[in-house]
Amino acid sequence: MPHDPKPPPAKRFKPGSPFSLANKKPGMLLPKKGNASSQIDVQRKHLPIYQAKSQLIDQLRQLPNAVLIGETGSGKTTQIPQYLYEAGIGRQGIIAVTQPRRVAAISLAGRVAEEKRTQLGKLVGYTVRFEDVTSVETKLKFMTDGMLLREAIGDPMLLRYTVVILDEAHERTVHTDVLFGVVKSAQRKRKEHNKIPLKVIVMSATMDVDLFSQYFNKSPVLYLEGRQHPIQIYYTKQPQSDYLHAALVSIFQIHQEAPLSHDILVFMTGQEEIEALARTCRDIAKHLPETCGPMIVIPLYASLPPAQQLRVFYPAPKGCRKVILSTNIAETSITISGIKYVIDTGMVKAKRYNPDSGLEVLAVQRVSKAQAWQRAGRAGREDSGSCYRLYTEDEFENLANMTVPEIQRCNLAGVILQLLALGVSDVLNFDFMSKPSPESMRMAVEQLDLLGAVEQREDQVFLTPLGKKMACFPLEPRFAKTILISPDFSCSEEILTIVSLLSVDSVLYNPPARRDEVLLVRKKFISSEGDLITLLNIYRAFKKVSGNKEWCRENFVNSRNMSLVGEVRAQLRDICIKLGLKLESSLSELANVRRCLAHGMFPNAAELQPGGTYLALDTHQTVAIHPSSVLFQAKPAYVIFNELLHTSRCYMRDLCLVDPDWLQEAAPEYFRRKIHISKS
């Protein structure tokens, strides 16, 4: 199977100077894809992977592990599971295919069911959170990697499965990285216990090949040809000090020179930047000579309402240019057809983790080479295209090869808890493909220790009975702990609501243009006891009108996120019932709720200082109340907060007023130490 990892030859251009067009001919029309089932077989046979079918089956039959490298469009994800099934490989159990995202798992299952001409949920099914479309007949199961991890807690050897296919492995999400270790150990254990072997197939784009192969006992790497069209890459001649300006200039150069039917996709870093550039583009486009043609500018980022996200898929009116300004959401999650030009600023907003302070910070930084290739690839999905990189070739060469795997950039408390629940005996030496730093491992263990989830004896970490229960919840450890202690305060119903509200995207809708209206309408929910109680009030009011959409609109509440809160809450409540927790409501007695929150979240406590700032008692950082908090003006002596946000300052968000005595009673020794230090 041929494989050419060499990137296309590079050309240079300078924003603001004329550059030669890569392709003057108008975009070719593609043959329309039919949906009639008679055409499905024809389509399947036209996929590049079909040529290699018998060879692939022979290899996969005998190999316990394989790494499969295939470009987008190779058809590997839909075809390999079917090939295995049709060849009778792994028939004794289920073939699982994991995906980092829900939508991908759901749509792939739909596609494969269609190809097999069966009803979804029979032979082919999917499992994601809140949705299980499988049955006893299901042999090909698409699922999120997080879902398989959850299942592994009850079944560490994954005995229901004969084959696990880890797709999109190059994305290196936390879940995929943990799964690498889980399936590897399941393979070994099954061998030791003389169980049916587990076959593991890692699927990835053209990167990380050696790492994957090494990790899975030097397993062979199979290459699949893709159906990617050639992409011409351009670099700037000089480094650009202002990538936004460079992007603006490049957009209008292409706009002036390329046929209007060619769409442009620009990769940028965040919402604010995108909205600002969109405004500028629209302004400029208005004042261009008529020879240029009109331009439609579409912003794209995750927090955009779904209806507005859909706009990127509508073709622009004839004779109008479509320009999409996007975050990295268009790198993987959303695929837009018809993109002819990609402009890559070379920058991305990404999470960084400081294990010493335990603080996660969002920062604008340079992309990796792998990411730059992923972005460029978005220009060549249906036809040849061009990618304009707003940096020099030298700068490109100096980029990191790979994006640092997320597991090396995040708080590991949840991961460690999950591994312990899986029965991993020596967590500190868990066989990670890319080991997180010892400091961040230690930090996570300390956090779990503080919550009472683990005990440390002779350099070993053990799960406590409380920790075992905590692991049952699909939540951050501190939230699980708060729920588990809530029966002691007779307020589980309220705590379930608050935790659910904090574990989904914000239910508060804050359009900046209607700020005054928002403040006015929100007044009636505000509690002087803080943001968490305010949120509880909003949820109660929402329930009172049974989730009325009109009510949501009037009150600037995001109804979709609010419904999600309900789903999460129901799931958590079920887990509570299975664990035999006594569920009570404290109704109007909200001091109980705050006391419970103080006991569960005491590591996130802060104390007012004479100067009016706060001191985070755990890390002794100086912090401030975020201006969006209902306690912003009040400045109470002691608060707990849900999270720290590091922007212009270090802000606490989602606060709750607490009594210092509650903190003392929650963790006497800890606070004796902390408060002692803070006073000295």
Residue 268 CB, nearest distance to DNA (Å)? 10
Beta strands at 622-625 and 605-608: parallel, antiparallel or unpaired? unpaired
Residue 447 CB, nearest distance to DNA (Å)? 14
130: left (phi over 0), alpha (psi -120 to 50) or beta: left
- Rounded to whole angstroms, the Cα distance separating 306 from 301 reads 10
Residue 253 CB, nearest distance to DNA (Å)? 27
The angle that helices 413-421 and 477-485 make with each other, rounded to 10 degrees, is 70
- Rounded to whole angstroms, the Cα distance separating 204 from 16 reads 38
Q: Which is nearer to DNA, 103 or 637 (by Cβ)?
A: 103
Return the DSSP state at 143.
Answer: E
- Rounded to whole angstroms, the Cα distance separating 144 from 175 reads 9
Q: Are 346 and 367 in contact (CB under 8 A)?
A: yes
- Rounded to whole angstroms, the Cα distance separating 86 from 272 reads 50
Residue 74 CB, nearest distance to DNA (Å)? 23
- Rounded to whole angstroms, the Cα distance separating 623 from 600 reads 20
- Rounded to whole angstroms, the Cα distance separating 313 from 308 reads 10
Which residues, 6 or more positions from 453, have their beta carbon under 8 angstroms from its beta carbon?
Answer: 417, 463, 464, 466, 467, 470, 477, 481
Q: Which is nearer to DNA, 85 or 301 (by Cβ)?
A: 301
Residue 653 CB, nearest distance to DNA (Å)? 8
- Give the SS3 label for residue 317: coil
Residue 418 CB, nearest distance to DNA (Å)? 7
Q: Which is nearer to DNA, 344 or 476 (by Cβ)?
A: 476
Residue 606 CB, nearest distance to DNA (Å)? 17
Residue 305 CB, nearest distance to DNA (Å)? 12
Q: Which is nearer to DNA, 414 or 603 (by Cβ)?
A: 414
Let me know how many helices (H) and strands (E) the chain has, helices first. Answer: 25, 24
Q: Which is nearer to DNA, 102 or 188 (by Cβ)?
A: 102
Residue 673 CB, nearest distance to DNA (Å)? 29
Beta strands at 385-389 and 454-457: parallel, antiparallel or unpaired? unpaired
Q: Which is nearer to DNA, 168 or 263 (by Cβ)?
A: 168
Binding site for DNA (CB under 7 A): 100-103, 128-129, 144, 146-147, 150, 173-175, 269-272, 301-303, 327-329, 333-334, 348-351, 362, 414, 473-476, 503, 506, 510, 512, 626-628, 632, 645, 647-649
Backbone angles phi and psi of 643, in degrees to 5: -150, 160
Residue 308 CB, nearest distance to DNA (Å)? 12
Q: Are 55 and 84 in contact (CB under 8 A)?
A: no
Q: Which of 504, 503, 541 is nearest to 521 (CA)?
A: 541
Return the DSSP state at 356.
Answer: T
Q: Which is nearer to DNA, 3 or 101 (by Cβ)?
A: 101
Q: Which is nearer to DNA, 301 or 662 (by Cβ)?
A: 301
Q: Which is nearer to DNA, 302 or 587 (by Cβ)?
A: 302
* C-beta neighbour count of 526 within 10 angstroms: 16
- Rounded to whole angstroms, the Cα distance separating 421 from 419 reads 5
- Rounded to whole angstroms, the Cα distance separating 325 from 501 reads 31
Q: Which is nearer to DNA, 473 or 556 (by Cβ)?
A: 473
Q: For tokens 């049974």, what's the residue?
A: 546
Q: Which is nearer to DNA, 334 or 675 (by Cβ)?
A: 334
Residue 642: strand pairing partners: none
Residue 510 CB, nearest distance to DNA (Å)? 6
